């Protein structure tokens, strides 16, 4: 497998010492370029670099559909750690967000609080309509499907995963990565390539639920977002404002529904 490697390790348990070969997840950098200009560098699990680059640019608002992209490929130096996206002339003419990726630290250094971030989001992003209801027990079936697909995690315990489903619980996409943000961006990027990004309604995550993860799901138009771990206060505030049903600590048979519980039967 390309996403894991074997290393020698000394395992200790009290006075017991065992030397053995263990498996670890591979972590490498990926540089995303737009029109051959550096845009963002992230650490990721090798593989699916183009979907990851597309997902990052989509959730950052750089592109809205495949019509905004004329090409997505590895750069001329043949490195799999560098992907270049070419924007369409229409997208360039219509204007697009600054090439330099927006970082949360920019807001923090200016003294803007979390509530200000949420207020800005609600001005630029409409609340998500409530079109879907889902049985609570059905969520566990979808979560189990995600867990079963986590091959790298089963071998190493060092990766995160994201799975996307439609409003009937039908499977759409899965991705795994050393970074939880990357896993979600990869899954979104896969649907983006297929032109099916608006079919996604339910997002399952193997991680905690943070503000950034909720924003990515909101850009996707998802109605229900779940996580194996709990949610942060800002994630809850954001999900509530944007009309998303947020469920944390989802572990059969338990789960904490933080916002908009009326979608869950």
pLDDT by residue (tens digit) across 214-231?
999 999 999 999 999 999
Please provide the average confidence, as pLDDT, over all residues in the chain.
86
Q: Model confidence at 62, in pLDDT bands (50, 70, 90)?
A: very high
pTM comes to: 0.82
Asked if pLDDT for residue 16 goes beyond 60, the answer is yes
Q: Model confidence at 76, in pLDDT bands (50, 70, 90)?
A: low
Model pLDDT for residues 139-150, shown as the tens digit of each residue: 999 999 999 999
Q: Model confidence at 200, in pLDDT bands (50, 70, 90)?
A: very high
Asked if pLDDT for residue 238 goes beyond 80, the answer is yes
Q: How far apart are CA 62 and CA 40, in angstroms?
A: 12
Q: Considering 57, 75, 110, 113, which one is annotated as catalytic?
A: 110
What 8-state DSSP symbol labels residue 261?
G
* Exposure b/e, 216-240, CB count within 10 A at least 16 = b: bbbbbbbbbbbbbbebbebbbbbbb
Query: Of the segments 46-60, 66-80, 95-109, 110-124, which one has the largest average pLDDT value?
Result: 46-60
Q: Among 6-15, 88-97, 223-232, which stretch is predicted with the lowest mean pLDDT?
A: 6-15
Q: Model confidence at 93, in pLDDT bands (50, 70, 90)?
A: confident
Q: How far apart are CA 224 and CA 204, in angstroms?
A: 8
Q: Out of 3.40.50.300, 3.40.50.720, 3.40.120.10, 3.40.140.10, select the CATH number for domain 136-263.
A: 3.40.140.10
Q: How far apart are CA 240 and CA 96, in angstroms?
A: 28
Asked if pLDDT for residue 74 goes beyond 80, the answer is yes
3-state secondary structure 161-216: EEEEECCCCCEEEEEEECCHHHHHHHHHHHHHHHCCHHHCCEEEECCCECHHHHHH
Q: Model confidence at 17, in pLDDT bands (50, 70, 90)?
A: confident
Q: Model confidence at 21, in pLDDT bands (50, 70, 90)?
A: confident
* pLDDT value, residue 3: 75
Q: Among 14-23, 68-77, 125-134, which stretch is predicted with the lowest mean pLDDT?
A: 14-23
Show the beta-strand stretches assigned E in the chain: 4-13, 16-25, 28-34, 37-44, 69-74, 82-87, 160-165, 171-177, 202-205, 224-227, 245-251, 254-257
Active site residue 110: yes
Asked if pLDDT for residue 109 goes beyond 50, the answer is no
Task: Delimit the domains of the chain by residue range.
Answer: 136-263
Give the sheet arrangement for strand 82-87, strand by strand. 37-44, 28-34, 82-87, 69-74
Q: Report the share of the chain in percent with pLDDT over 90.
A: 58
* pLDDT value, residue 9: 72
């Amino acid at each position: 497998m390309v996403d894991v490697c074997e290393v020698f390790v000394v395992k200790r348990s009290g006075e017991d010492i065992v030397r053995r070969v263990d498996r670890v997840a591979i972590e490498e950098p990926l540089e995303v370029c737009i029109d051959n200009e550096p845009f963002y560098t992230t650490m990721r699990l090798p593989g699916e670099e183009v979907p990851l680059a597309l997902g990052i640019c989509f959730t950052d608002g750089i592109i809205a559909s495949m019509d905004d992209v004329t090409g997505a490929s590895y750069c001329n130096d043949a490195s799999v750690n560098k992907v270049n996206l070419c924007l369409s002339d229409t997208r360039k003419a219509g204007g697009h967000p600054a090439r330099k990726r927006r970082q949360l630290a920019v807001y923090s250094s200016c003294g803007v609080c979390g509530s200000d971030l949420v207020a800005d989001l609600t001005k630029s992003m409409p609340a998500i309509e409530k079109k879907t209801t889902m049985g609570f027990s059905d969520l566990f079936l979808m979560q189990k499907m995600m867990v079963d697909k986590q091959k790298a995690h089963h071998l190493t315990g060092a990766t995160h995963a994201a799975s996307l489903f439609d409003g009937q619980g039908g499977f759409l996409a899965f991705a795994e990565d050393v970074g939880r943000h990357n896993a979600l961006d990869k899954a979104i990027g896969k649907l983006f390539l297929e032109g099916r990004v608006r079919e996604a309604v339910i997002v399952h995550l193997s991680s905690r639920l943070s503000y950034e993860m909720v924003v990515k799901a909101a850009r996707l138009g998802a109605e229900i977002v779940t996580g194996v771990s709990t949610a942060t206060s800002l994630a809850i505030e954001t999900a509530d404002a944007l009309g998303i049903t947020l469920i944390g600590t989802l572990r059969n048979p338990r789960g904490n529904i933080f916002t908009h519980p009326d979608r869950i039967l």
